[in-house]
Structure 1
């Protein structure tokens, strides 16, 4: 199975399917801000073969289902666009009027997130389908474990404009801290498959950035706000250590003159009104404040449990260089270089992937279990360098080849 390109923009069009492709096994993660959607399309030849390929558990020669996983996202506030998309793609839902199923058979698609409950009646009314609700934390962890164990060059570090892929030792993956940054932030200690505990979190997350940003800058979307931050200078708004100490460092406690002493602190002493500040400076300061906060809290929770490996995910990141760099610097600073922040290329789709993998008794019994995963030659490798705002989006649309065995 090939995991297709991720969509970079809300409501963007996914990849074109062959007219003969069989589209099925849709799964949703309906969050407070965004809906994440994953669906599978078989190759036009049916996608099953008896050809032998190498798999880790030695199960060679069985039928192989080949095709693509596609990813899309929509604003939750525009959920009807998502429903229209599902209708327009004629996504075939498990159990719905195919493979001999009757027209009266219950149609179910897997879904996770709070919206799986909130919008259940809407999906029933508009599409005639039921949402098979999967636990949100279970789905996040299942999605993360799959990516980290099965997808080559999934995790990477990013600091000072340098992106480096991390080689994950499969025998030493657990335990790790998973920090999922959505509208709010959940911090999950993962000890193994299905073994995890939500150990902390913060209500200052992506929803905070979007909500405060909309109030302060009048931006209409998350991506507009994020793009605005590219052009900003947070030092116009933030109070730095140097502002307090006459331009000098506070070396005794390890603070440079450019360290932020107080986010938005200059607004206290400046004789200015909101309209006197540039929206791009405000958005930059807001992004820096929230990213720093998440990085620090994450490390402190990793410290509680002696964890050196921290993975950050969620659509707050957007593969955005400045966001990742700020989080990474915070983790590096507070750990004194002993811990590293790591990021995921499929960062926003963990919950949807986990829900997708929960399908059972529809020919996908061992989905994501017996598999061979290889990185597409078109994907980039470590050592990428960014040189300015135009290159700062690091979501490089990875394409991942794999074959799935059916039992």
Structure 2
């Protein structure tokens, strides 16, 4: 019987299915749930459906035969699988999974554990982004951020010290959105500053965990990372600044769905 892993998140439903020994990947926005169910009925019936994610219970009401598995355990299993598939396997690392919010996991000694979570994530980017720019989709906001300049909105350390020497890197942020007191700023600059604020604060949490657990590698996954080039750039720059290895999974948004599918083997 065919196996289908489904990660029903806050904004996207990610689907991974096995066919002729290979995994195939597909996703639908929440608004297209009916189309997903029709597609599953046509192409994957009968099948073993394994659900995970925050909306798994709601989806199961329309898929009575489906099984639900714990989201946090399968995200790590999926990330490990993808690391191996993409030739990036590491024995120990910090996993930062950015979805609607963000969860942090430690993978060490062959075991994975969720150690921290925050409400900062893709939902923050869309919600605050809409308030700041009027744009309401992730793709629109990510494109805006890529065209903007955070320096137009953020106060940098070098802005404060001006001609005098700075005790730390002058390009670091002294105050997120600090210049908005004096300037209006364009939509793209606001989106860039918002992206930077989220990236900086997530990396501060990551740094605390990396130092506490004596790690040197951060693996990034989740739909909030995979669809936002400028966000990846900022995360990579912060990682390099502090000497950490940054690994971005190419199919990172499917970590939960892959892990759900793999759980059928256990």
For residue 267 of structure 1, the aligned residue among 175, 180, 184 is 180
CA contact (8 A) 1:29 1:352 kept: yes
Task: Find the residue that maps to 1:27 and give its secondary structure.
Answer: strand
Task: Find the residue that maps to 1:92 and give its secondary structure.
Answer: coil
d(CA) in 2 for partners of 1:196, 1:133:
20
Q: 1:75 aligns to what?
A: 29
Aligned positions, number = 266
Q: 1:142 aligns to what?
A: 77
Map 1:286-365 → 2, pairs under 5 A: 286-318=194-226, 320-333=228-241, 335=242, 337=243, 339-360=244-265
Task: Find the residue that maps to 1:204 and give its secondary structure.
Answer: coil
Tell me by how many angstroms 1:116 deviates.
Answer: 0.9
List alignment gaps of at least 5 residues for structure 1.
1-22, 43-65, 95-107, 156-167, 366-407
* Distance change in 2, residues 1:263/1:81 (3 Å): farther
CA contact (8 A) 2:142 2:230 kept: no
* Distance change in 2, residues 1:134/1:229 (3 Å): same
CA contact (8 A) 2:82 2:252 kept: no
Verify: 1:179 aligned to 2:84, yes or no. no
Q: 1:27 aligns to what?
A: 5
* Distance change in 2, residues 1:332/1:113 (3 Å): same
Verify: 1:90 aligned to 2:43, yes or no. yes
d(CA) in 2 for partners of 1:320, 1:277:
21
d(CA) in 2 for partners of 1:278, 1:111:
41
d(CA) in 1 for partners of 2:197, 2:80:
29
Residues 309-360 of structure 1, C-alpha deviation per residue, up to 9 Å, x if partnerless?
2211111112644222211222333x3x2x2222111111111001111224
CA contact (8 A) 1:217 1:282 kept: yes
Verify: 1:255 aligned to 2:194, yes or no. no
What TM-score does the superposition give when structure 1 sets the normalisation length?
0.61
d(CA) in 2 for partners of 1:352, 1:146:
11
Q: 1:378 aligns to what?
A: none
d(CA) in 2 for partners of 1:321, 1:225:
11
CA contact (8 A) 2:139 2:227 kept: no
Verify: 1:223 aligned to 2:223, yes or no. no
Residues 22-72 of structure 1, C-alpha deviation per residue, up to 9 Å, x if partnerless?
x93221001122111111223xxxxxxxxxxxxxxxxxxxxxxx4x32211
Q: 2:49 aligns to what?
A: 109
Map 1:387-398 → 2, pairs under 5 A: none
The list of structure 1 runs, each at least 4 consecutive aligned residues, that deviate by more than 6 angstroms after superposition, is: none
Residues 276-311 of structure 1, C-alpha deviation per residue, up to 9 Å, x if partnerless?
432111111111111121122112111111111221
Q: Which moved more, 1:223-232 or 1:23-32?
A: 23-32
d(CA) in 1 for partners of 2:200, 2:254:
23
Q: 1:13 aligns to what?
A: none
d(CA) in 1 for partners of 2:223, 2:176:
23
CA contact (8 A) 2:142 2:229 kept: no
Residues 170-214 of structure 1, C-alpha deviation per residue, up to 9 Å, x if partnerless?
xxx333211111111111112355x22211122111110111112
d(CA) in 2 for partners of 1:283, 1:91:
40
d(CA) in 1 for partners of 2:227, 2:32:
23
What TM-score does the superposition give when structure 2 sets the normalisation length?
0.91
List alignment gaps of at least 5 residues for structure 2.
none
d(CA) in 2 for partners of 1:244, 1:31:
41
**Who wins on radius of gyration, i.e. which is larger?**
1
